Amino acid sequence: TKRFLSASLTRNRDAREVTGVERPLRLRFPLAMAARDPARRNPSLLSLLFSLLCLASLLLVLSSLRPSDPAVAPPRDRRASGEGRRPCNYSDGIWSWDPDPPLLRYDGTCKEIFKGWNCIPGGRSGARDLIRWRWKPSGCDFPPLDPARFLHRHRNTNIGFVGDSLNRNMFVSLVCTLRRAASGEVRKSRPAGADRGFTFLDYNLTVAYHRTNLLVRYSRWSASATGGVLESLGYKQGYRVDVDVPEHTWAEAPKFHDILVFNTGHWWWAPSKFDPVKSPMLFFEEGTPLLPVLSPEYGLDMALKHMISYVERIDRSSIKFFRTQSPRHFEGGDWNQGGSCRRTKPLLPEQVDQLFSLKNNGTNLEGRLVNHHLYKALSGSNFRILEITHMSEFRADGHPSVAGGKKHEDCMHWCLPGVTDSWNDLLALSLGTV
């Protein structure tokens, strides 16, 4: 009997360790005591009772392993839930050719597409094949944006794109995609100083674009007849750039929009606009010139610091993204040196490294250089980074080239439909995890 009770206690302790549930011992003592005398007369009865006890113990253990028990339930699909799994690095992947191309999300009849980006009717070689390449991140799914779901999910929402013409490229891609699935009227609007925008009335969803080249305010500057500190240094003309003052085109945007997507970078190294000799950038803070005169990269650092702080101070409740730099693909020279981009297939990894490595100091290093400043400035902020640079570096085939009919080839903007559709896929995916 002592051995039997000891075994029962041991089994109870073992079961508790397995299941985390302690079974009351009071149920076992009557069984053990009742078996004492009859067992002497009928050993088979003891065996039967012992077997029943073991069976009951086994059933209790098994019942504790039901999926309804949160302590031992099988893990959920971490990819779907985003829990317990390292976030996917969507910038690490390859472009995969789809032999069965999907239907066009939109076509050249979408009136928002700028003529120079409308590559299919513009005759860009291989323009119809652009959508047959799908970005495939390593180890995770990358579904295309579902416009109907996006419209319903973002009812009563205002989405603002703030930046240069590359953000307009992305804005147009999203608007054209949503138009194909939207019911009801789509009305033009220009909220909070926007350059352009649209409201999908059935969903009360507004998507707007706020044009700003530098994010901060800038204007022509000329030497004063009465002199000044810049004049004393020999400056006669240039551009005054106030690193702590947002441009008026978007200053009110953080108060209006629920979701914001920012970009900047292309204009900070634009010698055709800000010639370092004839019309340099002259940086001001609190109305006073910053001396010694800063180079554009230090001016960018100052502007990013102030604008990130400004947006966070205005509204901390909105969802804020900063899109990384869109790469250019000029080969054989820059835009004004006969550079071209007439490839019809994505680059290979070794070609990407050759074209964009900072070590090579090539024509297209701007993208990675700007990103270095962006990551540094955004560290510790509540902005989310929308990393599109690396996936886009492969797509030398995605630019309008000569389709726009301009004197110089356009190897900076993107054909629509095209690569920027994948940027919006990433945006939609990122919003789904917020």
Residue 154's domain is classified under what CATH number? 3.40.50.1110
Residues 166-181: what's their mean pLDDT? 98
Same domain, 167 and 258: yes
- 79 band by pLDDT with thresholds 50, 70 and 90: very low
- Does residue 211 share a domain with residue 152? yes
Q: Identify the top-confidence range among 44-58, 263-277, 376-390, 394-408.
A: 376-390
Q: What is the mean pLDDT of residues 69-93?
A: 51
Q: Tell me whether residue 75 is in a domain.
A: no
In degrees and rounded to multiples of 5, residue 3 shows phi and psi of -65, -40
Query: For 192-246, what is each residue's pLDDT tens digit?
Result: 999 999 999 999 999 999 999 999 999 999 999 999 999 999 999 999 999 999 9
pLDDT on residue 103: 87
Asked whether residue 28 is domain-assigned, the answer is yes
Instruction: Quick: pLDDT tens for 6-36.
Output: 444 344 444 344 334 343 333 333 333 333 3
Are residues 35 and 106 located together in one domain of the fold?
A: no
Residue 48: inside a domain: yes
In the block, which residue shows the tokens 């005759």? 123
pLDDT at 51: 58
22 shares its domain with 156? no
| Domain presence at residue 7 | yes
Mean pLDDT of 113-124: 93
Structure tokens at 67: 């999926």
When computed from its CA atoms, the radius of gyration of the chain, rounded to whole angstroms, is 32
Asked if the model's pLDDT at residue 434 lies above 50, the reply is no
Q: Identify whether 70 is part of a domain.
A: no
The continuous run of DSSP H or E covering 369 comes out as: helix 366-378
Tens digits of per-residue pLDDT, 357-404? 888 888 888 899 999 999 999 999 999 999 999 999 999 999 999 987
Structure confidence at residue 86 as a pLDDT band (50, 70, 90): low
Task: Say if residue 220 is in the same domain as residue 293.
Answer: yes
Output the CA angle 270-276-278, nearest 5 degrees.
Answer: 110
Task: For residues 143 and 253, state if they share a domain.
Answer: yes
Domain co-membership, 269 together with 221 = yes
Domain that holds residue 241: 95-431
- Count of domains in the chain? 2
Is residue 50 located within the same domain as residue 104? no
Question: Are 106 and 58 part of one and the same domain?
Answer: no
- Are 120 and 169 part of one and the same domain? yes
Cα(45)–Cα(385) distance, rounded to whole angstroms?
Answer: 72
Q: Is 74 inside any structural domain?
A: no
Does some domain include residue 73?
Answer: no
pLDDT at 64 exceeding the cut of 90? no
Percent of the chain predicted with pLDDT > 90: 69
pLDDT for res 50: 53
pLDDT over 70 (residue 269): yes
Q: Are residues 409 and 311 in the same domain?
A: yes
The model's confidence at residue 100, banded by pLDDT at 50, 70 and 90, is: confident
Residue 358 has what pLDDT?
86
Rounded to the nearest integer, the mean pLDDT of the chain is 84
- pLDDT per residue as tens digits for the range 125-150: 889 999 999 999 998 999 999 999 99
14 lies in the same domain as 119: no
Looking at the domain assignment, is residue 110 inside a domain?
Answer: yes
Kindly provide the residue ranges of all beta strands, DSSP E only, lying in 118-263, ordered along the sequence. 133-137, 157-163, 186-188, 196-200, 205-211, 216-222, 237-246, 259-262
Name which of 37-41, 258-262, 314-318 the model is least confident about.
37-41
Residue matched to tokens 């990122």: 430
Q: What is the mean pLDDT of the segment spanning 150-157?
A: 98
Asked if the model's pLDDT at residue 321 lies above 90, the reply is yes
